[in-house]
Structures are given as C-alpha cells and as structure tokens.
Structure 1
C-alpha cells in the first residue's frame, strides 16, 4: 500500500502544525517555514551545479540539514512535545562564521557594492542570499507575535552573509570578474 501525497485537509486554506493546532495557510508561521523550504530548494539547485567543488557541496548539504531542522521547529506549535526536535545552537552559528571568515580572508577587499551575476553559480548564490533575507524578515515578524527559538534568527542572518561571501568566492574560483555597482547620476 502506498501513501497518498494529498490529504485534502488543506483545501479550505488551513493546515496543521506539529502538535495538531490548525492555522491559516496565510499565517506568518506558515510563510516563515515556507521561505525556509524555498531557500532549501534553491540551495539544492546551487549544490547540483557541476562547477561547485565537493568541499563546498558538503557545506551546502550541512546547511540544508540545518534548514530542515529550522523548518521543523517553525512548523511546531509553541510547547510541542510530541517528539524531540533537532535544535539549532550557538555552535551552528559559529560554524557559519568560521566559513565566512575563512573565505573573506581569501577574497580581495570589498570596496563597492557588487551587482549579482557573471555566472549561473554566482547568481544562484545571490538568489539564496535574497531568499534567506526574506526568510529572516518573516521569522522576525513571527517572533514579534510569538517567541521563536533564540538561535534561529542569528543563524539565518549569518547564513545570508555566508551566501554573499560565497557568491564572491565562487566568482574567484570560476575566475569571473565582479561587477561593481556604479550609480548613474542623471544630469
């Protein structure tokens, strides 16, 4: 017997959190973990690019695993105790900082804003960065309405920084010139 993918329980615009509480699919909680899911999917697309080195793919895999943990936490009603959820902690935030610091020291000094692009891999890093920022905004909004685990917002904040640095690192690896933003002032 196979499991059906559709349940029809959401056909009226509601869904259940882990713990059973029904909420509107338009709620900020659903948007928050939906943004995390979208980010995870884009990271998968980025990870699947043949130009991405194995050691960087491993970092992306690590990030995806932890984004699934964050999605699970966000998909749970506060106080859920049905089973133990994976946690995000200070060590996870520090790991992102280690990678950011390592790559930053290998890159030329940043003197201008950089326009996204130059190669599909670089552009996908920027897509991940911007989706991550949207996820951060929605999680921050959720946190203003009800408490969110204290490590989630810093992790997501650091992750967007990671993808900015990774976009620059991938430009360097692929020998793609970064295009600085030079504002055009109208006369």
Structure 2
C-alpha cells in the first residue's frame, strides 16, 4: 500500500465527488462508486454475521471472503486494475460444493430465517446480489474484469448454502415456503 490516511476527513468529497485509487475524481452517484459501496456493504454484513455463533469451517471461509471483497472493492476503485482472478471464483465453488454436499437436497424454496446467524447470512446474500447487479451495470458502461461478476454471483450462491447450514446448526431447521398459505 502506497500511503495511509493520517486523517479520516479530507473535505475533498464535500461537493459530491470522491477520489479513486488512481488519483482521478468521480461523482459519488456514478456506477463505479455505487458498485464499490455495495461491495463494502456485503463485506459489512459478513462482518456482522461473524459476530454471531458461526462454526469454524464457515468462519474461516467468511474471513477469507472478507479479504477478497476488500480486494474486489480495491479493484473497482482503480479502473483497469486486475486483482480478482478466476481461481478465486473456483475457490468459492469448492467451498460451496463442500457445504452443499452435507445438506439434504432442496425440495422447496427456503424462507430467510431459521435463526439469527442464518437470517444474517441471507441478508448478506441479498446485498451480494445487489452488488452483483451494480457491477453488471458498470460492466455495461465500462470495461470491468469479468471475474468480478463471477465472484459475486458465486458468493451469493455460497451465502445461500451457508445460510442453509447455519439454519440447521444446534438442532435448528430451515423455514420452507408454504405455497398454499394465504394470509396470516
């Protein structure tokens, strides 16, 4: 890292612009800044999830993912940079396959919930989907490393199977959608 901030505020963003990692200035409402913010939000929700009772095998994966998301956000902050690689997407797939193999096959849609950790994991998943949509929108306007979209897509899938696993922790169960239910 080239330099560290000695002050948290700089006042340079008070007029609706922010600085990117390459030194350029960009509007805070731009697609790039939106994508960066959504990735940051996913990372924050994963951090919140990690304050709960999460088994070590999931905790280890989530901590590594937080570092990847920081790298992903950093890549977004430097147009043209390439940090995230297809191998990281494949790494998510390996973790996902390992967790999913221990779960029963899905027979119905799952409602977000089950317990607090599972619900937070579902929240992180939905925020990850939003981040993915923002990166896709950015990629429609500018050149973006395709591995970023793949990473976020696979991460949301992984967060779904993690939520399923977390719902089953400590003898709990998943909440299945009741398609015939009408009203309260």
Shift of 1:184: 4.1
2:31/2:134 contact within 8 Å kept: yes
Q: How does 1:51-90 map to 2 (within 5 A)?
A: 51-78=53-80, 87-90=83-86
**1:142 paired residue among 138, 141, 146:** 138
Residues 1:178 and 2:180 are matched in the alignment: no
Q: Which runs of 5+ in 1 are unaligned?
A: none
Residues 1:166 and 2:168 are matched in the alignment: no
Deviations 1:3-24 (A, max 9, x none): 2211000000001111122111
Residues 1:185 and 1:60: Cα distance change in structure 2 (over 3 Å): closer
1:31/1:138 contact within 8 Å kept: yes
Residue 158 of structure 1 aligns to a residue whose secondary structure is helix
Residues 1:43 and 2:46 are matched in the alignment: yes
**1:23 paired residue among 23, 26, 32:** 26
TM-score scaled by structure 1? 0.90
Between Structure 1 and Structure 2, how many residues are aligned? 178
Deviations 1:157-187 (A, max 9, x none): 000000000000111223222121123476x
Residue 129 of structure 2 aligns to a residue whose secondary structure is helix
1:21/1:77 contact within 8 Å kept: no
Q: How does 1:93-108 map to 2 (within 5 A)?
A: 93-108=89-104
What's the RMSD between the two structures over aligned residues? Answer: 1.5
Residues 1:122 and 2:128 are matched in the alignment: no
TM-score scaled by structure 2? 0.92
Q: Distance in 2 between matches of 1:31 and 1:94?
A: 26
Q: Distance in 2 between matches of 1:29 and 1:167?
A: 29
Q: Which runs of 5+ in 2 are unaligned?
A: none
Q: Distance in 2 between matches of 1:104 and 1:54?
A: 16
Q: Distance in 2 between matches of 1:68 and 1:52?
A: 21
Shift of 1:61: 0.8
